[in-house]
Structure 1
């Protein structure tokens, strides 16, 4: 068992079962042993690959979207360009390269990263050395905010509830009967006392059949509301890209990835990436509470096609070797095809009410 597993086992032994959200927060963010604190999880040698690592086209098109949105909002200067959970900084490096073509934009932007992982922050400083780093969103400076959050919300902790005959009961993590001090085994268990109120759950799932499992992410809602409040005060836009569902729905989406393979989410805390599907309907409601308007979500494939990924691919292939051209075609398909990332991944934008229309969200 991992060192973090031993720590969680002691915590449960001393205080009782912990929520799935608490388990997830420790597994990913424990200051010493948390998954994101100890490694670069990206790429072939890691556990998963994100869109910016698949192709430069992704970050370039996001950069052009930022530019078009900035121009439509009368080119505020200065403005904050921020990214939440920037990975290795690959997306932003590609976006900044595209932004060089826009007169006045680079002089106006003030670049900020929100990152809690020291390992990834070190990689970001190699790729984008001119940023300012924060470990909390609320320390970003005030001003017009143009924000990118690519595969950020899926890693925020979730709570899980199961519909029982007695009502919605929360799912906790406990030690099973076979656990020992040296080899603890974590299993989910249902609390005997139902929720005092169903208000935490989306109205569309409250009356789900007995046996249904519903997920909520208070952390995601808080982030979305805070981002929305910034944009409502100062203007700008946020672009949220992640995998998930457009409407709130029941279902267990908690998953763990290790070496690009699915593993038991409770088996090796701190050694596997834990994520859950993003509830975009819940994000939109949180954004509305913060005073912003939510656009979308739209499917990633449709969004990238609207921004011109096909044309960008053809331009790159015109200067490529045959092998490079094949790689570009593979990357485009992976990002946009419905049986790859094109449908499961969604894109949502937040703006002030009454702001100009946004590329990729027409209609």
Structure 2
């Protein structure tokens, strides 16, 4: 840990800084919403799928979603163009089924359909994309995650071979900053085998480029060539699912803003009990929400989630979201860590409890209607950290779960304050302004007090809106910074 602290204090370490003008113009984040604008799913889209009428839905627990660069209320595209291939595909599924599909199935098709999914054929990150993530805000985020990974590696006994896995690595910015920051710690970087779980060919190419990858020269030997990141000389592999990552080695897993894109099932309390919200085609050929007339397969996960919740937590809810894929992924992670050793870091926006009604659509940094022009906007929902805890603990008795704590606490304990001070000693005024802005966005709460520019461009902190949780093998003790 003392070695890591010295690294943080070195002003000569590589500095990746966004242009101040670009960062201030594009890194706008709408972190404060009035209660009247928090719920972006309009009940005007919702009708019954049977003759029985539900109770009028109460307002329920509403949640404000903190995403990068968001401004202006929900809007429709109002474009009179022909139906996209994805719209035709979704309507074909509904027609073939003879009835509506779940919100989770709609969400999965919209995001990861092999031909027209939102994540598949485009770069959706950064100022020119639809949202901006923490690694794109500042290099310090990836560096601090690297500090966490090195601390865990030391607690594991400094094994000479480790699988470092990132789920949904975006452009590869986080892992690139991690490798740059850790490049002086050769024992650590030489132990790494990097595995990127990514389903988008477009993003795979970006990751290959940003990690400065090259194909290993085996001098004609009959050995399969490896892809090497020249940032630290580490081998890199790509997979479409965590299950494809080879087992048998201690494993460090990073899931930053990955859980929020996993498909959720939505339920609403009606006179006959909890009904699943489904997506159907209306008479005018638009998409609409309906309620299931009877229990659905996802009701089993709803019952499981209700058992984990306190009675007083349930009585006030009129809406609930459950994410079976998050439960299943967490179980897979816990079992891998139990058998191979290591740990997982999960950072996302969410709640340490039941999530009510949080699903949002984001297009070009603006909220849009969830059912409007599917495939053209990102869909994401709040992460239920309590569900992650229960899922991990049920999967294995050999793992322990720590957190969640706020992103501000997580980064602060790992030394981001020392790192920003070191970087400020050796940079231009423009870089210093960008560093201060990026630092505030990562650890601050609300508008930056130092900002004297236009109010609409004020940097908004995400330090308390994002949470961090770890799942580790019990043999390794309590990980930093959760002691």
Q: TM-score range by the shorter chain?
A: over 0.9
Residue 279 of structure 2 corresponds to residue 178 of structure 1: no
What are the superposed Cα offsets for residues 190-216 of structure 1, whole Å, 9 maximum, x if unpaired? 112146765233332777358711011
Task: For residue 158 of structure 1, report the CA deviation from its aligned partner.
Answer: 0.5
Query: Once structures 1 and 2 are overlaid, which stretch shifts more, 99-108 or 208-217?
Result: 208-217
Task: For residue 161 of structure 1, report the CA deviation from its aligned partner.
Answer: 0.9
Residue 393 of structure 2 corresponds to residue 288 of structure 1: yes
- Between the two structures, name the one with larger relative contact order (CA 8 Å, sep ≥ 6): 2
Instruction: State the distance in 1 between where 2:348 and 2:407 align.
Output: 9
Match of 2:86 in 1: 4
Match of 2:375 in 1: 270
Instruction: State the distance in 2 between where 1:201 and 1:186 align.
Output: 28
CA contact (8 A) 1:17 1:173 kept: yes
Instruction: State the distance in 2 between where 1:100 and 1:14 align.
Output: 54
Query: Once structures 1 and 2 are overlaid, which stretch shifts more, 12-21 or 97-106?
Result: 97-106
Residue 167 of structure 2 corresponds to residue 63 of structure 1: no
Pairwise mapping of residues 210-249 of structure 1 onto structure 2 (< 5 A)? 212-249=318-355
Match of 1:28 in 2: 111
CA contact (8 A) 1:83 1:147 kept: yes
Residue 377 of structure 2 corresponds to residue 256 of structure 1: no
Match of 1:303 in 2: 410
Which of 187, 191, 203 is the equivalent residue of 2:288? Answer: 187
CA contact (8 A) 2:330 2:392 kept: yes
Task: For residue 353 of structure 1, report the CA deviation from its aligned partner.
Answer: 2.1
Task: For residue 14 of structure 1, report the CA deviation from its aligned partner.
Answer: 2.7
TM-score (normalised: structure 1):
0.94
What are the superposed Cα offsets for residues 70-93 of structure 1, whole Å, 9 maximum, x if unpaired? 011101121101100001111001
CA contact (8 A) 1:301 1:336 kept: yes
Match of 2:468 in 1: 347
Match of 2:27 in 1: none
What are the superposed Cα offsets for residues 306-358 of structure 1, whole Å, 9 maximum, x if unpaired? 11111111111111111111110110101111232111110000101242222
Match of 1:101 in 2: 184
CA contact (8 A) 1:84 1:114 kept: yes
Match of 1:87 in 2: 170
Instruction: State the distance in 1 between where 2:476 and 2:151 align.
Output: 13
Match of 1:182 in 2: none
Residue 245 of structure 2 corresponds to residue 144 of structure 1: no
CA contact (8 A) 2:306 2:314 kept: no
Q: How many residues in Structure 1 have an aligned counterpart in Structure 2? A: 356
The 3-state SS of whatever aligns with 1:202 is: helix
Instruction: State the distance in 1 between where 2:331 and 2:365 align.
Output: 32
Residue 111 of structure 2 corresponds to residue 41 of structure 1: no
Residue 155 of structure 2 corresponds to residue 72 of structure 1: yes
The 3-state SS of whatever aligns with 1:238 is: strand
**Ranges in structure 2 where 5+ consecutive residues have no aligned partner:** 1-82, 214-227, 229-235, 447-460
Which of 294, 303, 307 is the equivalent residue of 1:199? Answer: 303
The 3-state SS of whatever aligns with 1:192 is: coil
CA contact (8 A) 2:472 2:479 kept: no
The 3-state SS of whatever aligns with 2:462 is: coil
What are the superposed Cα offsets for residues 16-68 of structure 1, whole Å, 9 maximum, x if unpaired? 10000000010001110111112100011110000000000000110111011
Dislocated runs of 4+, deviation >3 Å = 194-198, 205-211
CA contact (8 A) 1:41 1:47 kept: yes
Instruction: State the distance in 1 between where 2:155 and 2:110 align.
Output: 42
CA contact (8 A) 1:73 1:356 kept: no
Instruction: State the distance in 2 between where 1:358 and 1:202 align.
Output: 30
Residue 479 of structure 2 corresponds to residue 358 of structure 1: yes
Instruction: State the distance in 1 between where 2:404 and 2:393 align.
Output: 14
